[in-house]
Structure 1
Amino acid sequence: MKKGFLASYKGERYHIPEFWPYEVLHRPEERFNYLHSSLCSVIERTFGVWKNKWKILRNMPPFHIRTQGRIIVATMVFHNFVRAHEINNDIEHSRSTRGTSGRSERGHYDVMAHVISILDKPEMKQVRDNITASICADDN
């Protein structure tokens, strides 16, 4: 596993609403950005569900950073246990996903894109290019 931040391609469309439904994406960079954005949306929704289920994550008490990490891991374990056994899952899922769509604003993402560009290391650019090549290779 590589450490680093896997950024999107700059200068390409990124946000899901910028793409037309069922649009065929020919440029490899656009295809990567579309899939990257889709995955980020799933992850954000998952964190929303997780934070709604485990209230301690909303306002983390001022514990030592190691203790905070343990709380996070513990809630992951509990969350996965509950999901695996489907305990109150339907109720919690419907409660936590209401009103979550469209919360993110473009301005927020533009600021994040600037910060991300600073973190985008050459090694991670190579990882991104390799992923993009593998995405396009699936079509051949």
Structure 2
Amino acid sequence: MCSGKLYGALGRRGGRVVGGDLQSGSAAFRVAALLPVAESFRFAIDLRTHTSGLAAPQLLFSHWEVINIDPFWQPRTDEEYLHWGEKWDGVNRAKAYVDMVRARKGLATDRQLVLHAEKQRTLSKKK
């Protein structure tokens, strides 16, 4: 009934399902999944919103796991340029986590606040 929306909410946040079973004696379905801690903030609200209140999470810390993604990856080989192009605009989860922690601690990030300064302000005076 709402399992597709549950899996969609987990997938958007980088979670992965490790098991699921039907509770004996009831119509409840229990799903066991792994979700990064950084993605768990406001997950309950997001899950209830997408499933219309039919799903409720119970978050429990399980273990530490290394993310096998280079946070500073950019296309370098000819094959990567053909596949991704000159500038890769996708979301790198490891880079997003690093930037989130640096911003929270007040450290510098490489995020540009102003991309096109001439588009940010109206130079003409309206009369």
TM-score, normalization by structure 2: 0.23
**Which of structures 1 and 2 has the bigger CA Rg?**
2
Return the structure number with greater helix share.
1
